[in-house]
C-alpha cells in the first residue's frame, strides 16, 4: 500500500510537471490533482502508521512517533526553501557563463514551477523504490474472513471504534481540535493586520516579515517539540495525559494569540502551540497503536483519520464568516472551546481508563 501510494503520488506530480511544461495548466487540473494527492496520502499514512507497531516494541512507540513528528517538522522548514531555490535555478543557470549540458537543459525549463514539481516526482519514485529493499512484517488475521470488500472493511473499522467509547471520545476531541484550530491558520494574516500593526510598525518590521517570522517560529517550535519527545521517550503509562495536557495548553495558547496585541507574545504563542503538537500526536498515535490489534490497524486508522480530519475543512469554511466579525476574537473563542473540550476529558473515565485493559509491555521486551 505504501509502495503503490508513493507510485501514484509520483505519477500525479509527473503529470503536473508535463502539463506545466506545456503551459496547459487549468484550475480544474489543480483541483483534481489535490484530490488525488489527498486520497493517496490517506492510504499512505494509514499503512505507514500501521507499520510502526510491526517494527517497534510497544514501550518505544512514543519515541518512534516523536521521531516521525520531528522529521515532518524539519521537512516543513526545509521544503519551501528548496522549492523556491529550484524555481529560481533555471534563471540562474541561464545567466551562467560556463554551462554544462545539464545546466543548458535546465535553463530551457519554460516554467519555474516545473522543476520543483518534477523533482518531487523523482523523490517520491525513489522513496517507492527504497521499499523494495525493506521487509515490513504483515500481521496475520486472528480469524478467517470471507471475501474482503471495501464497505465491509470500513464497517469493521467503524465498529471497532464504536465499541470502545474511550477511543470514540478521544477521536471526537481531536475532531473538535482540528475544527477549532483551522480558523487560526486562515485568519492569521488578518490578525496580524488588525491586532499587531501598531506594534510591528513601531519595531520597524513589515507585514510580510511578521508573517514569515510566525511561520518560522511555528516550524522551529514543532522541530524542538519533536526532538524533545524523541529524547524523552514519552509516557509509558497513562499516555492519554500526554495527549490531553498538551491539547489544553495548545487551546489556551490559541486564545492568547487571538487576543494579543504584541508581536512577541503572538509569536511565542504560535511557537508554543506547535511545540506541543508532537507531544499530543505521538502519545495519541501510541495509544491507537497499542489498543488496536495489528491486523485491524489499517482499517481502524483509515476510519480514524477521516473522522478526525473532516472537521478541518469545515473550520476553514467557517473562517470566512468569522473573519467578517472579529478575526482575533473568533480565533480566541475557538481556542477556548478546544481547551474546554480537552479539559473535560480529564473527568471522562472512558478516556482516562482506555488503556487499562491493555497489558503493559515487559521492561526488557525484545523487538521483533
* CATH code of 253's domain: 1.20.1250.20
DSSP state, residue 361: P
- Do 47 and 129 lie in one domain? The reply is yes
With 90 as the cut, is the pLDDT of residue 257 above it?
A: yes
- Do 154 and 129 lie in one domain? The reply is no
In a domain, residue 253? The reply is yes
Ranking 57-61, 165-169, 241-245, 287-291 by mean pLDDT, the lowest is 57-61
In a domain, residue 27? The reply is yes
- Do 48 and 157 lie in one domain? The reply is no
Contact 207, 260 (CB under 8 A): no
How confident is residue 108, by pLDDT bands cut at 50, 70 and 90? low
How confident is residue 141, by pLDDT bands cut at 50, 70 and 90? low
143 closest CA partner among 304, 292, 296 = 296
- Compute the average pLDDT of residues 90-116: 59
304 closest CA partner among 82, 131, 121, 45 = 45
- Do 280 and 239 lie in one domain? The reply is yes
In a domain, residue 86? The reply is yes
In a domain, residue 112? The reply is yes
In a domain, residue 139? The reply is no
51 closest CA partner among 2, 102, 116, 123 = 2
Question: Rounded CA gap, 260 and 329, in Å?
Answer: 10
With 70 as the cut, is the pLDDT of residue 361 above it?
A: no
pLDDT of residue 157: 83
DSSP-based helix, strand, coil % in the chain, nearest 5? 80, 0, 20
Range of the domain at 262: 150-352
pLDDT of residue 254: 95
Who has greater pLDDT, 205 or 168?
A: 168
- Do 179 and 43 lie in one domain? The reply is no
pLDDT of residue 104: 54
User: Cα(first)–Cα(last) distance of the chain, in Å?
Assistant: 22
Question: Rounded CA gap, 342 and 360, in Å?
Answer: 25
pTM, two decimal places: 0.74
Ranking 262-271, 316-325, 343-352 by mean pLDDT, the lowest is 316-325
In a domain, residue 57? The reply is yes
How confident is residue 113, by pLDDT bands cut at 50, 70 and 90? confident
Buried b or exposed e, range 221-235, using 16+ CB within 10 angstroms:
bbbbbbbebbeeebb
In a domain, residue 162? The reply is yes
What's the chain's average pLDDT? Answer: 82
How many Cβ atoms sit within 10 Å of the Cβ of residue 201? 13
Who has greater pLDDT, 82 or 217?
A: 217
pLDDT of residue 338: 95
In a domain, residue 290? The reply is yes
Tally of structural domains, the chain: 2
Burial of 33 (C-beta count, 10 Å sphere; 0-12/13-18/19+): middle
- Do 126 and 159 lie in one domain? The reply is no
Amino acid at each position: 500500500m505504501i509502495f503503490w501510494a508513493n507510485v501514484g503520488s509520483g505519477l500525479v506530480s509527473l503529470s503536473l510537471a508535463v502539463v506545466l511544461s506545456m503551459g496547459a495548466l487549468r484550475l480544474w487540473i489543480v483541483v483534481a490533482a489535490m484530490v488525488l494527492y489527498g486520497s493517496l496520502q490517506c492510504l499512505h499514512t494509514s499503512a505507514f502508521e500501521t507499520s510502526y507497531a510491526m517494527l517497534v516494541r510497544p514501550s518505544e512507540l512514543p519515541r518512534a512517533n516523536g521521531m516521525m513528528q520531528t522529521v515532518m517538522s524539519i521537512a516543513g522548514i526545509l521544503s519551501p526553501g528548496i522549492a523556491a531555490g529550484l524555481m529560481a535555478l533555471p534563471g540562474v543557470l541561464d545567466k551562467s557563463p560556463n554551462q554544462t549540458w545539464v545546466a543548458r537543459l535546465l535553463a530551457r525549463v519554460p516554467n519555474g514551477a516545473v522543476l520543483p514539481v518534477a523533482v518531487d516526482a523523482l523523490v517520491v519514485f525513489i522513496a517507492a523504490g527504497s521499499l523494495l529493499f525493506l521487509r515490513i512484517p504483515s500481521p496475520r488475521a486472528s480469524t478467517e474472513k470471507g471475501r474482503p470488500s471495501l464497505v465491509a472493511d470500513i464497517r469493521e473499522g467503524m465498529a471497532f471504534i464504536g465499541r470502545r467509547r474511550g477511543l470514540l471520545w478521544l477521536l471526537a476531541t481531536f475532531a473538535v481540535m482540528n475544527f477549532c484550530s483551522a480558523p487560526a491558520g486562515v485568519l492569521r494574516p488578518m490578525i496580524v493586520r488588525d491586532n499587531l500593526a501598531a506594534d510591528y510598525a513601531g519595531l520597524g518590521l513589515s507585514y510580510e516579515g511578521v508573517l514569515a517570522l510566525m511561520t518560522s517560529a511555528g516550524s522551529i517550535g514543532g522541530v524542538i517539540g519533536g526532538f524533545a519527545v524523541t529524547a524523552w521517550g514519552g509516557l509509558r503509562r497513562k499516555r492519554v495525559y500526554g495527549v490531553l495536557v498538551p491539547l489544553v495548553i495548545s487551546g489556551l495558547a490559541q486564545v492568547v494569540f487571538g487576543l494579543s496585541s504584541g508581536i512577541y507574545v503572538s509569536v511565542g504563542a504560535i511557537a508554543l502551540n506547535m511545540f506541543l503538537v508532537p507531544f499530543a500526536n505521538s502519545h495519541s498515535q501510541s495509544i491507537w497503536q497499542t489498543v488496536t490489534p495489528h491486523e485491524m490497524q489499517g482499517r481502524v486508522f483509515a476510519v480514524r483519520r477521516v473522522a478526525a480530519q473532516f472537521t478541518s475543512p469545515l473550520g476553514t469554511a467557517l473562517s470566512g464568516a468569522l473573519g467578517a466579525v472579529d478575526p482575533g476574537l473568533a480565533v480566541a473563542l475557538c481556542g477556548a472551546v478546544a481547551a474546554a473540550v480537552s479539559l473535560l476529558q480529564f473527568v471522562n473515565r472512558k478516556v482516562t481508563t482506555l488503556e487499562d485493559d491493555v497489558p503493559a509491555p515487559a521492561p526488557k521486551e525484545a523487538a521483533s
